Amino acid sequence: MENGDVSVKSLSPSIEPPDSHYLSSAVGWMELGNLTEANLELERLSPAVWQHPEVLEVKWLLDSKAERWDCCLKWAESLLNVVPENPTGWIHRAYALRRVVGGGLTSAFEALLPAVEKFPQEAVIPYNLACYLCRMGRMEECRHFLEIAFKRGNPQAMKKMALQDEDLKELWPELQGSKGQT
């Protein structure tokens, strides 16, 4: 899962036209799979909104689709600086750190770990930590964080997601035998 469907919209002031139109168009092009047109729309934005959380989120999403992890890390860190009270920046930073040259699972895990307590209702954070731990072969810790994720989120939905997540494939036999619990 890693990315989650976390939104930054509720924590920031609105973007006014015409910038709101450019941003909306960028999202539309991205949803259609045309990253070139999406980026062209973002280039039309005024400098006043370049550090707006919604703009940073769209930039991160576009660059993640293009697997430009260095750029993603930059956008995630900016997002984290602009709205540290929102889990999105924390999640995106860890996701990028896992993939960026010189990063990896340990970097991603260490970057995301403080967010577990900072966002006690967020299920994606312990879920992603469980994924990292599973890939590192730290199975008991993995189970612990997956259990936290199941408690914070919908257990049935979390189980379904975990059973499709290649990062957790070592736990699939265990999860298939459970009823939404680890």
Tokens of residue 25, six digits? 């168009």
pLDDT band for 181, please (50, 70, 90 cuts).
low
Cβ–Cβ contacts within 10 Å for residue 50, how many?
13
At the fourth CATH level, which superfamily is domain 1-103? Tetratricopeptide repeat domain (1.25.40.10)
Q: What is the pLDDT of residue 118?
A: 97
Residue 10 predicted with pLDDT over 50: no
Grade residue 1 by pLDDT with cuts at 50, 70 and 90. Answer: low
Going by pLDDT thresholds of 50, 70 and 90, the confidence category of residue 13 is: confident
**C-alpha span between 33 and 35 (Å, rounded):** 6
Q: How do residues 68-127 score in pLDDT, each as one tens digit? A: 999 999 999 999 999 999 999 999 999 999 999 999 999 999 999 999 999 999 999 999
The Cα–Cα gap between 7 and 87 comes to 9
DSSP code at position 11: G
**Tell me, what amino acid is at 60?**
W
pLDDT value of residue 6? 40
Mean pLDDT confidence for 33-56:
97
Residue 119 identity? F
The answer to whether the CB of 25 falls within 8 A of the CB of 59 is no
Query: Which residue ranges make up each domain of the chain?
Result: 1-103, 113-182
Distance, CA of 91 to CA of 50 (rounded, Å): 20
Rounded Cα gap, residues 26 and 34, in angstroms: 9
Given a cut of 50, whether residue 9 has pLDDT beyond it is no
* DSSP category for residue 9: G
Alpha carbons 118 and 31: distance in angstroms, whole number: 31
Give the end-to-end CA distance of the chain in Å, rounded to a whole number: 17
